[in-house]
Amino acid sequence: MLSKNLSENQLINAVSIIASNYGCRIVDIDFANHTINLEGSPESEISCAVEIEKVLGEYLEDAQPAGNEYGENGHYGNHSLVA
């Protein structure tokens, strides 16, 4: 559920801007599962996902970091991000 009056269009715009800044492409955004699938170089995908989590964490209720393939139990797999 979105909070602070952040619409789906605003979320898409924010994610699009961040993705383009890191040279990533958005493959899919699943609003129901709070998942964003990214495509790009591994380094770009990870940097992009971290930035998206940071920015959207300010706007989404109960935002939980996804972790990464080098650490905790979550991973970026196809470089998906759970926000």
**Torsion angle, alpha carbons of 52, 12, 37, 51, to 10:** -10
Residue 2 within any structural domain of the chain: no
Give the whole-angstrom CA distance, residue 54 versus residue 43: 17
Token readout for 52 is: 């998206």
Enter the tokens of residue 17: 């801007």
Residue 57 in any domain: the answer is yes
Say which range, 1-5, 45-49, 71-75, has the weakest mean pLDDT.
71-75
Q: Is residue 72 part of a domain?
A: yes
25 within domain boundaries: yes
Question: pTM (2 decimals)?
Answer: 0.66
What pLDDT, on the 0 to 100 scale, is given for residue 79?
43
The residue range of the domain holding 17 is 8-82
pLDDT at position 71: 39
The CA radius of gyration of the chain, in Å to the nearest whole number, is 12
More confident residue, 34 or 77: 34
Write down the pLDDT at residue 24.
Answer: 95
pLDDT tens, residue by residue, 6-63: 788 888 999 999 999 999 999 999 888 888 999 999 999 999 999 998 888 876 655 4
Domain count, the chain: 1
Residue 40 lies in a domain: yes
Positive or negative: CA dihedral 29, 31, 33, 34: positive
